[in-house]
């Protein structure tokens, strides 16, 4: 799994070269960037906590679906392996979706259009069910808005 997630970086590099949108061109390591990252992550963690504890039927079914289909893929993985896959997935997906796709689309569409289209593609590639894809699309829009507002991948 780590190899597949790490491979997204290679896909992002190749696609970025082809589209003229280097995936890490907007990546800046700074205290401001760290603050943006922490600030943007906090609402996601709160939303995840709520989703895991809620009794709202559709969300309960969505959590169950993720537990049934995603959890077995990582069964038996060590904490270090989970951390590595998470890191590679985050870097690879952000490089590909925000760093390349959203950036390239912004050259041809208004920013909101680039964010929306990138979010839909993000949702579709995370398809487990219509509800899961919709939630992934919302997450993609949130990440796209964060990228557009911060200017930093």
Please spell the DSSP secondary structure of 61-120, one letter per residue.
HHHHHHHHHTHHHHTT--HHHHHHHHHHHHHHHIIIIIIIIIHHHHTTS-HHHHHHHHHH
Tokens of 92: 């690879």
Local structure of 129: helix, strand or coil: coil
pLDDT per residue over 119-140, tens digit each? 999 999 999 899 899 999 999 9
Among residues 76, 101, 64, the alpha carbon closest in space to that of 1 is found at: 76
pLDDT per residue over 73-98, tens digit each? 888 888 898 888 888 999 999 999 99
């Amino acid at each position: 799994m780590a190899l597949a997630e790490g491979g997204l970086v290679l896909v992002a590099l190749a696609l970025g070269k082809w589209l003229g949108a280097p995936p890490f061109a907007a990546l800046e390591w700074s205290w401001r960037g760290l603050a943006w990252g922490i600030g943007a992550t906090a609402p996601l963690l709160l939303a995840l906590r709520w989703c895991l504890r809620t009794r709202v039927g559709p969300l309960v079914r969505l959590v169950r679906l993720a537990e049934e289909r995603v959890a077995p893929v990582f069964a038996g993985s060590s904490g270090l392996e989970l951390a590595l896959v998470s890191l590679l997935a985050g870097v690879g997906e952000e490089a590909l979706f925000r760093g390349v796709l959203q950036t390239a689309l912004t050259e041809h569409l208004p920013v909101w259009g680039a964010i929306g289209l990138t979010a839909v593609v993000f949702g579709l590639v995370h398809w487990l069910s219509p509800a899961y894809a919709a939630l992934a699309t919302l997450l993609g829009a949130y990440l796209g808005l964060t990228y557009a507002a911060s200017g930093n991948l």
